[in-house]
Chains A and B, each alone.
Chain A
Amino acid sequence: MNQFTRTTFLAAGALSALAASARAAGGPLLDAVNQRPYDWGTPLDELNENLYTANRTFFIRSHMGPPLQIDEGAYRLRVDGLVKTPLALSLTDLKKMPRHEVPVVLQCAGNGRAFYGDAYPTASHPAGAQWKYGGVGNARWAGVRVRDVLAAAGVDPSAKFATNEGLDDPLLATTPKFVRGIELGKIMDDDAIFAYEMNGESLPYYHGFPVRLIVPGWAGDHFVKWFSRMTLTDTLTTAFWTGTGYRYPNVLGEPGVGMPPDQMHPVTAINVKSILTSPVSGRSLSAGKPIVVSGFAWSGDGAIASKVEISFDDGKSWTEARLGVSPGKYSWRQFTLPWTPQRGSATISARATDTNGAVQPIASPWNPSGYLWNGIQRVELEVA
């Protein structure tokens, strides 16, 4: 056993012991996609628990790791650039402004990136954290509309974009800070907010305390945590995380082959998708004992999931599931379908359709960074 495999073995043992001890203590668990900085996904059976994902088990995505400490009293949300009056608002100032609450799915742009490797096995996999299903959650976010804050600042007519940044800094000065640019039109949306609450509580530390930008219907890279500064500009920032990172091909290329940033555009809206949260793969079921197959479906900007079909024969035939009420156009909604399993192996899949008529594909088109995977999930089960 070489050094690497020996330490691997030891560490795997340590992690198993850690997880076993957490299970014994009854504490919730996350799936460590990357251990440091935290890229920790929510397990499917944890997502299954509630329409709104619990704050403690909501997935954590880190670019740099969180700021070491946040001084709530000294915190200011700054708005500057092409405005008449630059602002520096305290959390108290923000809470005096009209409060707006909205349920929104938050999904990492790279959620499902791991499946590109399975779908295109001979191509280079897309580089990045190898998320499976757990880089997504649904929460009730509350705070102040961005447009109300911008109205207080007075937007100059020449402003077309915003550059957004948080309090998190890279470990090394040579690493580009996470800064994300966006069209001003999108954040003037009625439901784009500076959130200071998540599911009725203050934003937790790992989710951006005290303020996080919520950009409904778009991918999570726009949901800047520990929000500190919005600068209005007349051109879109070219800083790394907008000019090079989080970009999608204008025209799809050959799987496995990279593409220059100028042939790609920033990732924006998420797409139609569903996840089966019960039962989960590997679960043993009893023949003849009825269960309810369930999960969640959603879509992106301007569309909601309007139909979910379930297959029990690996996609040969489909049965429409019952869709729960949608609490808002940016929330996900639950789907359910009663099922009585028969003895043998079964492969269950869910396929969502949205109000624009978009349907989940078997596999999403390969793109260099593996964004926006919405391929159909397969759950493999043994029925005894």
Chain B
Amino acid sequence: MRIRLILAALILTCALSAGFTSRTIAADSLETNGAELPSGPELMLVQTDCQICHSLDLVTSQRLSVAVWTAEVAKMVRWGSPLTADQQPAVVAYLAKYLAPSVPRKLNHPAVPAPPITYNKAPAP
């Protein structure tokens, strides 16, 4: 858990430095795209271990088979997600159940302000 907290703090710092505003960070988690993701240990793992590198809308906008979720989660673990080998099967089963091709999708691409033009660094938050 401590490693996760350190990673999360690190990512938040990097993201803010890179011009991801705090408003964007705050809104990260919150996109279901038509799916209901029930709370529980799997949701907590998805929230902590997927959002290190990307917002949750990248997860909730997809409707994948068990085989494809298995491959995607394995790829993310190779890429650095701290999900352990013990945790992966439950997370895959959770995603494959609640984000299956049969689950209706209402893609929500929220309108966001276009960032002002800058050159050598991100616009000031």
Q: Which B residues are CB-close (under 8 A) to A171?
A: 11, 14, 52-53, 80
Q: Which of B12-66 contact A (CB under 8 A)?
A: 14-15, 17-20, 23-32, 36-39, 43, 52-55, 57-58, 61-65
A138 CA to B73 CA, complexed, in Å: 35
Cβ contact of B18, chosen from A19, A40, A60, A65, cutoff 8 A:
A65
Closest to B104 in A: A121
B interface residues, tally (CB under 8 Å):
60
Cβ contact of A124, chosen from B25, B64, B114, cutoff 8 A:
B64
Q: Which A residues are CB-close (under 8 A) to B24?
A: 35-36
Given known A-B contacts A10-B30, A35-B55, A72 and B18 have beta carbons under 8 A apart: no
User: How near does chain B come to A199, taking the closest CB pair, in angstroms?
Assistant: 11
A384 an interface residue at 8 Å Cβ cutoff?
no
Closest to A29 in B: B111
Q: Which B residues are CB-close (under 8 A) to A37?
A: 20, 53-54
Q: Which B residues are CB-close (under 8 A) to A362?
A: none
Q: Which B residues are CB-close (under 8 A) to A317?
A: none
Closest to A128 in B: B62
- B103-125 vs A, CB cutoff 8 Å, 1 = contact: the mask equals 00101111111111111111100
A68 CA to B79 CA, complexed, in Å: 21
Closest to A17 in B: B23
B52 near A11 with CB under 8 A, answer no
User: How near does chain A come to B28, taking the closest CB pair, in angstroms?
Assistant: 6
A117 an interface residue at 8 Å Cβ cutoff?
yes
- A21-48 vs B, CB cutoff 8 Å, 1 = contact: the mask equals 0110001111111111110110100000
Q: Which A residues are CB-close (under 8 A) to B64?
A: 124-125, 127
- B89-109 vs A, CB cutoff 8 Å, 1 = contact: the mask equals 000000000000110010111
A18 an interface residue at 8 Å Cβ cutoff?
yes
A4 near B114 with CB under 8 A, answer no
A41 CA to B61 CA, complexed, in Å: 15
A173 CA to B28 CA, complexed, in Å: 23
- A110-129 vs B, CB cutoff 8 Å, 1 = contact: the mask equals 00001001000111110111
Stretch of A140-148, A202-210, A332-340 that contacts chain B: A202-210
User: How near does chain A come to B93, taking the closest CB pair, in angstroms?
Assistant: 15
A11 near B30 with CB under 8 A, answer yes
A36 near B15 with CB under 8 A, answer yes
Q: Which B residues are CB-close (under 8 A) to A97?
A: none
Residue among B19, B55, B72, B110 with the highest chain A CB neighbour number at 10 A: B110
Cβ contact of B107, chosen from A3, A4, A68, A114, cutoff 8 A:
A114
A41 near B113 with CB under 8 A, answer no
A336 CA to B94 CA, complexed, in Å: 48
A124 near B63 with CB under 8 A, answer yes
User: How near does chain A come to B118, taking the closest CB pair, in angstroms?
Assistant: 5
A69 an interface residue at 8 Å Cβ cutoff?
yes
A interface residues, tally (CB under 8 Å):
73
B9 an interface residue at 8 Å Cβ cutoff?
no
B27 near A11 with CB under 8 A, answer yes
Cβ contact of B71, chosen from A4, A56, A65, A258, cutoff 8 A:
A258
A14 near B27 with CB under 8 A, answer yes
B52 near A19 with CB under 8 A, answer no
Cβ contact of B109, chosen from A36, A41, A203, A210, cutoff 8 A:
A41
Given known A-B contacts A36-B15, A70-B120, A11 and B101 have beta carbons under 8 A apart: no
Q: Which B residues are CB-close (under 8 A) to A55?
A: 117
Closest to B116 in A: A56
B115 near A206 with CB under 8 A, answer yes
B2 an interface residue at 8 Å Cβ cutoff?
no
Cβ contact of B57, chosen from A9, A32, A60, A202, cutoff 8 A:
A32
A11 CA to B29 CA, complexed, in Å: 8
Q: Which A residues are CB-close (under 8 A) to B105?
A: 117
B53 near A205 with CB under 8 A, answer no
Cβ contact of A132, chosen from B79, B107, B114, B123, cutoff 8 A:
B107
A29 CA to B109 CA, complexed, in Å: 11
Q: Which A residues are CB-close (under 8 A) to B121?
A: 68-70, 205
Chain B positions near chain A (C-beta within 8 angstroms): 11, 14-15, 17-20, 23-32, 36-39, 43, 52-55, 57-58, 61-65, 67-68, 71-72, 78-80, 101-102, 105, 107-123
Other than A18-B23, A175-B80, give 12 A-B pairs with Cβ distance below 8 A.
Answer: A10-B30, A16-B110, A18-B27, A28-B114, A37-B54, A65-B14, A114-B61, A124-B63, A125-B101, A128-B62, A204-B119, A206-B115
Q: Could you name 11 residue pairs across A and B whose Cβ atoms are closer than 8 Å?
A: A9-B30, A15-B111, A15-B112, A31-B109, A35-B24, A37-B53, A40-B112, A132-B107, A170-B53, A170-B79, A204-B118
